[in-house]
Amino acid sequence: MLVAAAVCPCPPLLVPDVAAGAAPELDVLRAACADAVGLLAASRPDVLVAVGPAEHSGRGVFPAGTPGSFRPFGVALDVRLGRAPEEGEGAAEGPAAAGGPVRALPPSLAVAAWLLRGWNGGPVTGLGVGERLEPERCTAEGRTLAASASRVAMLVMGDGSASRTVKAPGYLDERAVGFDASVAAALAAADTEALARLDQELAGELGAAGRAPWQLLAGAAAGAGLTGELLYDAAPYGVGYFVATWT
C-alpha cells in the first residue's frame, strides 16, 4: 500500500556541481526537494521506489546500488541508487534485474539518487518509465507497485511542460501554462483521477516528461486516501517544475 509520495523535477541542474555558477538560482527548489524527501523518510516505508522518465518505450527496473553519472554533463560526479554520490568513482555496470542486465541509471533517476544521498529509510528500487508508455499501462503499473509491500513510498521524478517561454527548450506554446496549472492543482489536491486523465499527446507536444511517472503515481495512490501539499511551482527556465508531497 502506498503510504507517502514525493514529487520532484529531474533537471540535472538540480545538482549544484552541474549547475556550477548558476547553482544559487535553484536553491529554493533544492530546499523544497529536500523537505519532500524528508517526509518520505518519516513515513517509515518498507520500500522506497524512485520513478522517473526514461527513453525506452516500456519500463525498466534498477536495483539498489545501480550506478548513474553526471559525467555526460561535464561533471566528475557518480552516484549509486541508495548510496551517497562519490566523486571519481567509476560507473560500472549495475546488477541484473528482470529482463536482463541493468545499464546505468537514466538521468532522471541519477538525479533521484543524488536527492537520496544519505537515505537510511530502507531498501530503494528504481523504476524507469518510458515517456511513451500509455496512461492505462502507467496506472496499472502503479497499482502493482502499491501492492508490492505493506508500506510503499515513492519518489516521483518528472518535469512539466518545456514550452513556457520563447527561451524554453520547446519554445513558447500557449497551451503550456494551462497544462502546468492543471498538473499543479492535481498534485496539490492529491487528485489521482485528474493525473490519470492527463492527455498523453498534449504532454508529448509540450515536452512534459513527467506525464508517465505522474500517472504511475495516480495508479499507486488510487484509494489510498492521501492528502497533498504543493511545495514549489515555477518555471525558472521555461520548464514547469513542481515539488509536492502526498501523505
Domains of the chain: 2-246 (3.40.830.10)
- CB-CB contact of 189 with 228 (8 Å): yes
**150 vs 22, more confident:** 150
For 215-245, write each residue's pLDDT tens digit. 999 999 999 999 999 999 999 999 999 999 9
Whether 105 and 58 have beta carbons less than 8 Å apart is answered as no
| pLDDT computed for residue 103 by the predictor | 74
Q: How far apart are CA 203 and CA 210, in angstroms?
A: 9
pLDDT digits (tens, 9 = 90+) for 191-213: 999 999 999 999 999 999 999 99
- Percent of the chain whose pLDDT exceeds 90: 83
DSSP structural state of residue 209:
T
* pLDDT score of 81 more than 50: yes
> In a 3-state reduction of DSSP, which class is residue 239?
coil
Closest to 118 (Cα-Cα) out of 157, 152, 79, 155? 79
Residue-wise pLDDT tens digits, 151-175: 999 999 999 999 999 999 999 999 9
pLDDT at 83: 59
Cα 208 to chain centroid, rounded:
12
Strand ranges for the chain from DSSP E? 2-8, 47-54, 59-62, 67-69, 77-80, 83-87, 96-97, 100-101, 124-130, 152-157, 228-234, 241-246
